[in-house]
Chains A and B, each alone.
Chain A
Amino acid sequence: MTTTTTISGPAAGQHQAIRYGSISHGRRRTLYWSYFFLILFVIFFLTPPVYMFITSLKSSAEISAATNPWWVYHPTLSNYIDLLTQKTYLIFFRNSTVVSLCVVSVTMVISVLAAFSLARMKFWGSATLATGVFLAYLIPDTLVFIPLFKTFAFIHDKTGVELINHWWVLIILLPTLTVPFCTWIMIGYFASIPKELDEAALIDGAGYIQMLIKIFIPVALPGIIAATIFCFTVSWANFLYGLAFTTSADQLTLPVGIVTTLIRGDVYAWGQIMTGALLGAAPPLIIYAFLMDYYIAGLTAGATKG
């Protein structure tokens, strides 16, 4: 009953079935090239941190002996032990930790409140304010630190309140770098929560603060985590404000401390410096290792420092 039209050319059954691999030659070749170039990129990107690690395991004797810099012949943990028992380094670490944690708390509170009201409670001027926040983010710290320095000196002259050379000043300053962007991220996340949730909550009798705490924060939690991570990374890595506003050794944060200890001295204890740098890079790296997806979400939520 079924019509089969015979056609010229290979007839059924005259050819053996030829088996093919799951990826054609063309696609396999592109894959090999991709891996090849990606390995090159990875080598480029990972050489400095790997080198930091290698150097940190070397004693100063081995470093000055100028043997193969890419290999450790006599690995030693002396650098680590020295640094971690040294009071100055631990003070740097402590300062950085306290500053970062405080800045994160302050920033998140301010940002979440502001973002919630800008995203949800439309009031006169909220759109302009949102744009204003965005623009404020674009003003770099390098433009602003000089007048701030002068202002602080001025306040010191007038009121005797010493704002320079105290690490806690950073807790006031660093939020300027983090609040605009965190607010921006949070506005995005909050705006994506469907309005029906608000209305359901209002009908259920919730006030605005309750809505924020019981609904928005839990639902936007990924955004909050991403913003917190961003905030921590930026405050931990901050160099300029620390350098400009703190000078005595016990007031320095980690990045400033390591660098200035280097720039001042004549003899570069590279082993210790690299160890210090590696340990200084550790907190963001550890957070990144565990929360990589939130990290990347924070990045792509809007362009950021790069």
Chain B
Amino acid sequence: MQPFTTHTGVVAPLDRINVDTDAIIPKQFLRAIERTGFGQHLFHEWRYLDYEGTQENPDFVLNQAPFRQATVLLTRDNFGCGSSREHAVWALTDYGFKVLLAPSFAEIFYNNCIKNGILVVTLKTSEIEELFHDVLQNPSGKMTADLPAQRVCGPTGKRYSFEIPPFAKECLLKGLDSIGWSLQFHDKITTYERKIQISKPWLK
């Protein structure tokens, strides 16, 4: 995983609450057995007018300049709810998104983002509201996210601090191989397994 420290990019405002992972990547694209190539299908039903995805919907934010080049997604409450499909995160990264901002995220989706090196920034509803306003006023303006400082800087220069669980921060900063990290506790896992073989012998 690529380490994340800071990122500066164009912000796309997606003004909807409860954006579910079916909307982020519809089911017809889940049959792939690779992790790549999902970006072209990101938000498929909103982004295209036809099922085949040949006609862009001009009303959708990612089809409008300059948001087409966005690498930061500004959105609303409960983003990523529903299915656990990590394909939703693979679609966002494959499109080019590096940072997501919202007042809240669904939990499995949040974890999936961290495992894929996407910075997930949770801000207060009023701050997100302010950012929506500022982004729409300055559509070409860029936003900078600084993970070590736990701070984002909006297109008007206004700064916002954010909280992030310390371990999620460490994983992102180091681009941590999560499995490798856990395997350093191999002996503890073995000890636990020996213990339950005796205390819970009915477990297979």
A, B assembled together: no
* Interface of A toward B, CB cutoff 8 Å: none
* Interface of B toward A, CB cutoff 8 Å: none
